[in-house]
Structures are given as C-alpha cells and as structure tokens.
Amino acid sequence: MKNDFYTVASFEYTAEAQVMKGKFMSHGIEVFLKDEHTIDVDPLVSHAIGGVKLQVHLQDKEAAIELYNELREYEVDRRGSRIICSACGGNRVLVAPPRKNLLYLLFPFFEPKRYLCNDCGEIFKQETN
C-alpha cells in the first residue's frame, strides 16, 4: 500500500486531534496524526508548523471529509442557536478567514466578524436582532 495521505484538518492542540481521531477510528477510518509529538514537546510551535494534522489514506478521503463535516462544531449565536446562512438557509456556518487587506492585517480588531457557510460557500455578516 502506498503512503499517500490527505490532510482532513489541523488542530492547534494534540488533545483536539486525539478526540477527532477517536471518532474517525470508531467509524472505521484509519487516521494518522502528523506533527503530534513535535507539538507535545513544544506547544508554542503549533502555529509555526501548522498544528497537528489529521491525515487519512487517499482512498478514505471522501468518507473522511463527509464525517468531519458532520462532527465539526459550527458557530452559534449568543442564545446558543446555530447561525443561519443568509444565502441558502443552511446552519453549517464557520468563522470566515480574515481578509488580506493591509488595514485588517495591522489592526485585526477593526474587521467585523464574518461567517462562511460550509454548504454554499457564501461569506456574510450576521444580522443582529
């Protein structure tokens, strides 16, 4: 068997990756954690090396992505309800990555929080009620 792997997700801490690994293994998907021991030795390098990578064999890629999308935690509002996408009405919403604008890179606290719909890919701001 070839050692071709696909990185499903990366985590800042090993504990988060271990929990997800256990969930994948319980569904019969073999998982490998790359850089796990490096971050255990020095947690401060996590951002520099991209965190602990949860990897699966290429043949398990589609099943792993589907399972990860079911298991991941999505954003909720102040009341604890999932945020709803303004475009498609889906509730699998994540925090959108920051913009590469120089102003927002220098002063990230000026950028309003934006969300990314995992279903349709729409980036939007949450409407306040």
pLDDT tens-digit readout, 12-24: 889 989 999 999 9
| C-alpha to C-alpha distance for 22 and 54, rounded to whole angstroms | 11
pTM of the model: 0.63
Predicted local distance difference test score (pLDDT) of residue 51: 87
| C-alpha to C-alpha distance for 117 and 12, rounded to whole angstroms | 22
Predicted local distance difference test score (pLDDT) of residue 52: 92
- Residue ranges covered by each domain of the chain: 5-71, 73-129
